[in-house]
Amino acid sequence: MTKPAKPVLLTGASGNLGRMLARELGAKGWTLRLTDLTPFPDPLPEGATFTRADLTDGVTMLRLAEGCGAILHFGGASTDLPFETVLGPNIQGLYHIYEAARREGARVLFASSNHSIGFHERPAGNAAKLDADCAFRPDSFYGLSKCYGELMGRLYWDKHGVENVNIRIGSSFTEPVDARMLSTWLSYGDLARLVERAVLAERTGHCVIWGASNNPATFWGADHRDRIGWQPEDSAESYRDKVGGIHADPVSERYQGGGYTASGYSRAQPSAPDAFALDDAS
C-alpha cells in the first residue's frame, strides 16, 4: 500500500511542519483534510481541502474527522508559552482530537516533543542513551502538555483501543542551526517518511518514537520504530562544521531540553538525576 484507503486529517497544517507534510503527502496522492487556526499559505495539494478552525471547537473537529482513517495532530501551541496560552489548544484541543479518533476508529499520530523529557541530563561519554520508556521530566508548560498528550494516547488505547504513534520530535528544521541539534535534529525527509510509515503500518498499538535523524551524537536510545518499519536516512553530522559551539548558559548545556530548561529557571543548584531524590537546592 502506498497511500491510505481513507482520508487523513492534518491539524496544524499552516505551520512549517504541517506545510511540509501537506506538500509531501499530497504529492503521493493522499487525500488530505487540512486545518489550522490561520489560513493555509500555500497552493492546496491536489485532492486536499482546507478548513480554518480552532482546536477547541469540538464539533468542528468531529466533523472534519468524519470518514478519516488517521489524524496527524501537529496543531496547537508549539513553543515555550504561558500556561493559559497552552491550555486551550494543547489540553482541551487534544481531547477533541482523541474523541474524534474514537468515534471514527482512526489512528492518531501525535506530534509530541523532546521537551516532555527535557529535564533529563544529557548523556556524557559512553553513558547510556535515554530510552522511550523513561520517566517524563517536562521542561516547560509546553513540554508538560506533550506529556499529557502521550498519556491521553495511553488512556484511549487502554480504554478504547485507539491506536496512536507519539513522535517525540527533537529539532525539525531544514538543517541544524546550533550544536545541540547535532543530537536532536530531525530532517524534513525523515519526518515525512516517519509519518508515512506510521499511517500505513498494519498495527501500531500505543507507541513512542524518538523524532531524530541518524545522528551519532543523539541523546536517545530504544523506542518502538521497528513496529512501523521506519529508520532515519539523514544525519546532522555533516553540518558539524557549520553550527556553533557550547551554549553560554550552563543550565541549557546540562539538560536535554536546552534553552527551554533555562527559561524562568530559579533553582540555586541542579536537581538530582533521580527525579524523586532529595537534594539541598533551594
Under 8 Å between Cβ of 34 and 70: no
Under 8 Å between Cβ of 58 and 101: no
- Residue 47, domain member (yes or no): yes
- Residue 59, domain member (yes or no): yes
* Total domains in the fold of the chain: 1
Q: What is the CATH number of the domain that holds 27?
A: 3.40.50.720
Model confidence pLDDT, tens digit, residues 3-36: 999 999 999 999 999 999 999 999 999 999 999 9
The tally of CA atoms less than 13 A away on the side-chain side of residue 2 is 5
Under 8 Å between Cβ of 132 and 77: no
Of the candidates 258, 15, 2, 8, which has an alpha carbon nearest to the alpha carbon of residue 121?
A: 258
Residue 281 pLDDT > 70: no
Domain limits for position 196:
8-262
CA 211 to chain CA centroid, nearest Å:
7
Under 8 Å between Cβ of 169 and 186: yes
- Residue 279, domain member (yes or no): no
- Residue 62, domain member (yes or no): yes
CA distance 166 to 161: 15
> Out of 95, 98, 142, 156, which one is annotated catalytic?
142
Is residue 142 among the annotated active site residues? yes
- Residue 274, domain member (yes or no): no
Model confidence pLDDT, tens digit, residues 164-214: 999 999 999 999 999 999 999 999 999 999 999 999 999 999 999 999 999
- Residue 281, domain member (yes or no): no
Model confidence pLDDT, tens digit, residues 264-277: 999 999 999 888 88
Residue 282 pLDDT > 50: no
DSSP 188-256: HHHHHHHHHHHHHSS---EEEEEE--S-TT-SB---SGGGTT------SGGGTTTS----S-HHHHHBT
Residue ranges with strand state E in 194-278: 206-211
Q: What is the pLDDT of residue 2?
A: 84
Q: What is the pLDDT of residue 246?
A: 64
State what percent of residues in the chain have pLDDT above 90: 89
247 band by pLDDT with thresholds 50, 70 and 90: low
- Residue 272, domain member (yes or no): no
- Residue 202, domain member (yes or no): yes
CA 133 to chain CA centroid, nearest Å:
16
Under 8 Å between Cβ of 48 and 33: yes
